[in-house]
Amino acid sequence: MRKNSIKNIRINEEVRKQLQEIVMHELKDPRIDPMTSITKVEVAPDLKTCKAYVSVLGTGDALEATVAGLTKAEGYIRRELARTVNLRNTPSIRFIADDSIAYGVGMSMIIDEVIAQDESRHTDTATEEMSID
C-alpha cells in the first residue's frame, strides 16, 4: 500500500475521527486541555506506527501539557482505537504538537488589523477631500 493511496487516506481519516472521539469523550486526564483537537493523522503503510498532530486553542504550555498527557495515555488510547477501528495491526501512536491553528488565528488577527488601518486611511482621505470642496 502506497502512502498516498486511497485506502491509506481513508485509514488516516478514520483513525483521526476515532482519536478525536477518544480524546474528547473518554480521557479524564487533567493535563489534557478541553479545547484539544487532532488536526492530522499519518498512519504508516504497514499500519505499525502513526503520527497524530495535536492542536490546542490556548497557550504553548497547555499544548505541551496536553501532548505529555496524551503520550502518557497512549496505551489506553491504542486499546480503545483497536476496539473501535478494525485494522490488521493497531498502530503505536506518536503525538506531535501542531501549532497551525494558533498560527492561523494570529495571521487572521494581523489581516483584520491591516484591513482596519486601511479602512481608516480611506475614511480620513475621504473626509479631507470633502472638507477641501
What percent of the chain is predicted at pLDDT more than 70? Answer: 90
pLDDT (0 to 100) of residue 132: 63
Q: Is residue 46 part of a domain?
A: yes
77 and 40 both lie in a single domain: yes
Question: Is a pLDDT exceeding 60 seen at residue 133?
Answer: no
- Tell me the C-alpha to C-alpha distance, in Å, between residue 85 and each of 10, 26, 106, 122: 12, 16, 36, 56
pLDDT in tens, 54-91: 998 877 788 899 999 999 999 999 999 999 998 888 99
Q: Is residue 125 part of a domain?
A: yes
25 and 63 both lie in a single domain: yes
pLDDT (0 to 100) of residue 129: 63
94 and 111 both lie in a single domain: no
Looking at the structure of the chain, the number of domains it has is 2
59 and 120 both lie in a single domain: no
- What pTM, to 2 d.p., does this model score? 0.76
Enter the C-alpha cell of residue 108. Answer: 487572521
Phi and psi at residue 127, in whole multiples of 5°? -70, -35
Range of the domain at 112: 100-133
pLDDT in tens, 95-121: 999 887 778 888 999 999 999 988 888
12 and 60 both lie in a single domain: yes
- Tell me the C-alpha to C-alpha distance, in Å, between residue 54 and each of 45, 66, 115, 118, 130: 21, 8, 31, 36, 53
Cβ atoms 102, 36 nearer than 8 A: no
92 and 104 both lie in a single domain: no
21 and 43 both lie in a single domain: yes
